[in-house]
Amino acid sequence: MSTRRVVVELGGRVLADTVRAVRVCETSHPPVYYVPREDVADDVLEEARGGSWCEWKGEATYWDAVVDGRRVPAVGWSYEDPSPGFEQLRGAVAFYPGRVDRATVDGELVRPQAGGFYGGWITDEVVGPFKGDAGTSGW
């Protein structure tokens, strides 16, 4: 668990604010912060269509954000029933920083990982190269 303050904003509203995120690092990716569901604003997320499968974490559920009648598709994902060893992620929501208006870690504006699939959070302390740019899917 990270004690850093993670804040996610959309449409002038705070979607998530926590100092209890789970920071996950994977090979060739910047970290992703999973926010406990209790630290996500009430009534802003609706389950989205589709899903995906992670060979380590299991089946991902995607979430749309609805703020003031505006729907933003697939702003985040979660593992509602994660694979053994990843139970700490159960129900926590990871947000794509490129699909929200603003995401910060301890007040530093996050830069999104390149590409449409990956949801890594790039800050000044995180150094690449990272997957996501053209030609990087094979490593």
pLDDT in tens, 71-127: 999 999 999 999 999 999 999 999 999 999 999 999 999 999 988 768 899 999 998
Beta strand 121-122 pairing with 108-109: unpaired
pTM: 0.93
Of the candidates 15, 119, 121, the one whose C-alpha atom is nearest the C-alpha of residue 77 is: 119
Cα separations in angstroms, 6 against 71, 100, 131 = 22, 13, 23
